Chains A and B, each alone.
Chain A
Amino acid sequence: NAGVTQTPKFRVLKTGQSMTLLCAQDMNHEYMYWYRQDPGMGLRLIHYSVGEGTTAKGEVPDGYNVSRLKKQNFLLGLESAAPSQTSVYFCASSYPNYQGQYFGAGTRLSVL
């Protein structure tokens, strides 16, 4: 039982490059979330999903896209990376009755 797994753990991109971050959970959770964490700020919600095939915008969605084709996977895409997207990205998942969110280990992304 791995919980929530994020890949990759680290990545360096050049401005304008694209990439996809993968989040996988094996707890059969309905809800999944993508956050970014920046110095001096709390975790901020980028996008979230309340079930397979559904996604919704969070607090800071611009510049990101997501997909939830399978219940266990939630993908975060950057189509054209910008230095402002340098951050640590966390994925989380939870049940609908929401007894707590389970977090992945994070992806540290630098955009040069």
Chain B
Amino acid sequence: KNEVEQSPQNLTAQEGEFITINCSYSVGISALHWLQQHPGGGIVSLFMLSSGKKKHGRLIATINIQEKHSSLHITASHPRDSAVYICAVRMKTSGSRLTFGEGTQLTVNP
């Protein structure tokens, strides 16, 4: 079993829909990251969370430390949101190193 599990693996939505991507982890963490990988391959960091909730534009990330679970929400989805979304955790025992989930492929159709 992977230490970081994401669901769903693939998600197709219609433009305007509200989207949720989930991440569960099995170890104690210092922080959790959400990253976006564009179709061209580039990876950018969206959020870093250690508690609560963060919002940036139409993206919202939440984390529940007790339940070892995080969600990434996209409101009013748009085709340009189509990408792979990756959850990664920094474990308490691993310093600066990250452990990554497999990613969720999101496709938003017009």
Contact = CB atoms under 8 A, between A and B. Distances in A.
A83 interface: no
Interface residues of B, number: 23
Interface residues of A, number: 25
Interface string A53-92: 0000010000000000000000000000000000010101
Contact of B33 (A44, A100, A106): A100
Given A102-B45, A103-B42, A106-B41, A43 B100 contact: yes
Contact of A42 (B2, B40, B95): B2
A42 B3 CA distance: 11
B44 to A, nearest CB: 7
Contacts of A100: 33, 45, 48
Nearest to A88: B41
